[in-house]
Amino acid sequence: MEQENRIPLIGDEFPDLKINTSHGEINLPEEYKGKWFILFSHPGDFTPVCTTEFYSFQKRYDEFKELNTELIGLSIDQVHSHLKWTEWINKNLGEEIEFPIIADGNGKVAERLGLLHSDGGTATVRAVFIVDPESKIRAILYYPAELGRNMDEIVRMIKGFQKSDEEGVAIPANWPENEIVGDDVIMPPASSEEEIEKRRKQEEKGEIECYDWWLCHRKS
């Protein structure tokens, strides 16, 4: 029982949650089965940094959808607060927030997901859960209240995960602009002498490039 109630970690199945949102009641992760989804929490509605984040997420919403990825926000504010805030964003900043926002008024979802980091505090930290089409948590990011998220990095992560899954490769730092291999992808290290020899033959044929047998890369 203790294992089931601990906060979820990378590699875990996203927990089953029945949630109330600005778009009505939703069951997670079932609602997005077969899609990637990003659940991101924010400290509160009508706050400056959170407003810039929601605007930025919405500006990239079409790009996320092209990547088969949905967005869902969360804070412990009530639905009416979410609705009024998104109305304000639309009226004053010209962006209609199209994705749902979880209204976690009693804080149970925040507690279940490990989003309350201050002793006795009620505001959720800026967390990001990236969940794949099989409902597995692939990444968890935490940010303090004073630092807004970089949405382009979150888009990059989705692209990187999808590339890794499709091609069985790893993604280098700052991809697709890595300082060593450019936009190439990294091949998993060889796990046998036979695999090492195979890598050397591939390198001779120009199929891959290697700094050594454990550090090989190729075009995607």
**CATH number of the domain that residue 176 is part of:** 3.30.1020.10
Residues 143 and 172 in one domain: no
Per DSSP, the chain holds a count of helices (H) and strands (E) of 7, 10
Q: Is residue 101 a part of any domain in this protein?
A: yes
Residues 58 and 144 in one domain: yes
Strand partners of residue 39 = 72, 129
Residues 80 and 14 in one domain: yes
Question: What's the structural domain count of the chain?
Answer: 2
Is-catalytic flag, 50?
yes
The region of weakest confidence among 38-42, 92-96, 120-124, 173-177 is 120-124
Amino acid at 191: S
Residues 57 and 93 in one domain: yes
Residues 123 and 173 in one domain: no
Give the DSSP letter string of 60-86.
THHHHHHTTEEEEEEESS-HHHHHHHH
* Catalytic position from the list 50, 101, 137, 154: 50
> What digits encode the pLDDT tens for the residues 18-76?
999 999 999 999 999 999 999 999 999 999 999 999 999 999 999 999 999 999 999 98
Q: Residues with Cβ < 8 Å from 105, sequence gap 6 or more?
A: 20, 76, 77, 78
Nearest-angstrom CA–CA distance, 135 and 29: 6
Amino acid at 147: L
For residue 109 the two structure tokens come to 């979802």
Residues 62 and 121 in one domain: yes
Residues 123 and 178 in one domain: no
pTM of this structure: 0.93
Q: Is residue 8 a part of any domain in this protein?
A: yes
> What digits encode the pLDDT tens for the residues 115-167?
988 755 667 889 999 999 999 999 999 998 889 999 999 999 999 999 999 99
Q: Is residue 204 a part of any domain in this protein?
A: yes
Q: Is residue 130 a part of any domain in this protein?
A: yes
Residues 142 and 48 in one domain: yes
Of the residues 91, 122, 150, the one at which a domain ends: 150
Residues 40 and 94 in one domain: yes
Residues 24 and 105 in one domain: yes
Q: Is residue 118 a part of any domain in this protein?
A: yes
Domain of residue 218 covers: 168-220
pLDDT at 107: 87
Nearest-angstrom CA–CA distance, 217 and 163: 14
Q: Is residue 156 a part of any domain in this protein?
A: no
Q: Is residue 158 a part of any domain in this protein?
A: no
Residues 65 and 103 in one domain: yes
pLDDT at 121: 61
